Amino acid sequence: MKSMKIAGLGAVGFSATNLFYPTLAQAVNRQDQWRWCNKCQVLHFAGGDSLGACAAGGSHNSEGSGNYSLILNTPNLRGQYGWRWCRKCQELFFAGDGSRGVCPAGGQHDPTGSSDYLLKSKEDSPDYFGQAEWRWCRKCQAIAFAGGDSLGACAAGGSHDNSGSSNYILQER
Ligand SMILES: [Zn+2]
Ligand SMILES: [Zn+2]
Ligand SMILES: [Zn+2]
């Protein structure tokens, strides 16, 4: 995890426009090593000991993925809080409504030990720079890339269902 300190509203050189709510000095915590799985399309943490179980079988495969950097444990930013890391499957999933979804490692996702992750979307931050078309799955609660050919296998069965999802934007490191 790394922190960057922003001098104030006059800070220039950051393409991440709209990242900052109008607070003055604000340290934004970030964590990279989040990757896209080319089998199930899901965002998962690949910086640990395990790549995690994949709904498409075996473990997640992050070959061909960018290195995504997520904002965590930083209050008062525009966006959606309540996203959690699952220690069993390594996926990021939405727990803000109390749901634990369905985990490809069996049972429900387990947020024990997770930080509080924030995601930004076209809806709340239209000028935010990054890769869009990341969508929340209402069945398994994970976030999967929906801009490709396949929606990806869902731990709840069939493919991910992103109906009702915001259009989330992820930044690469
Ligand atoms: Zn996978
Ligand atoms: Zn899980
Ligand atoms: Zn799903």
The domain spans of the chain are: 28-173
Residue 167: predicted pLDDT: 98
CA distance 5 to 89: 32
- Rounded to the nearest whole angstrom, what is the distance from the C-alpha of residue 26 to the centroid of ligand 2? 32
Query: How much is the pLDDT for 4?
Result: 45
What integer is the mean pLDDT of 84-94? 98
* Bridge partners, residue 59, by sequence: 53
Residue 91 Cα to ligand 2 midpoint, Å, equals 6
What is the Å distance from ligand 1's center to 62 Cα? 8
Residue 44 C-alpha to ligand 1 middle, in angstroms? Answer: 8
Ligand 2 (ion): residues with CB under 5 Å are 86, 88-89, 103, 109
pLDDT digits (tens, 9 = 90+) for 1-48: 444 444 333 333 344 444 554 455 668 999 999 999 999 999 999 999
Cα 77 to ligand 1 centre (Å): 29
The β-bridge partners of 144 are 42, 135
Give the separation between CA 43 and CA 36, rounded to whole angstroms. 5
Query: How far is CA 153 from its chain centroid?
Result: 17
Q: What percent of the chain has pLDDT over 90?
A: 82
**Distance (Å, rounded) from C-alpha 18 to C-alpha 88?**
33
> What does the pLDDT read at residue 27?
86
The pLDDT of residue 33 is 97
Measured in Å, residue 5 CA sits from the centre of ligand 2 at 32
| Cα–ligand 1 centroid distance for 116 (angstroms) | 22
80 band by pLDDT with thresholds 50, 70 and 90: very high
Distance (Å, whole) CA 173 – CA 30: 10
Q: Are strands 80-85 and 43-45 parallel, antiparallel or unpaired?
A: unpaired
Average pLDDT, the chain: 89
Considering only CA atoms, which of 145, 151, 152, 137 is closest in space to residue 170?
145
Whether residue 164 has pLDDT greater than 60: yes
Q: Which long-range contacts (CB under 8 A, 24 or more apart) does 57-64 make?
A: 60/35, 60/89, 60/90, 61/37, 62/35, 62/36, 62/37, 62/38, 63/38, 64/36, 64/38
CA of 36 to the centre of ligand 2 (A): 15
| 143 alpha carbon – ligand 1 mean position (Å) | 11
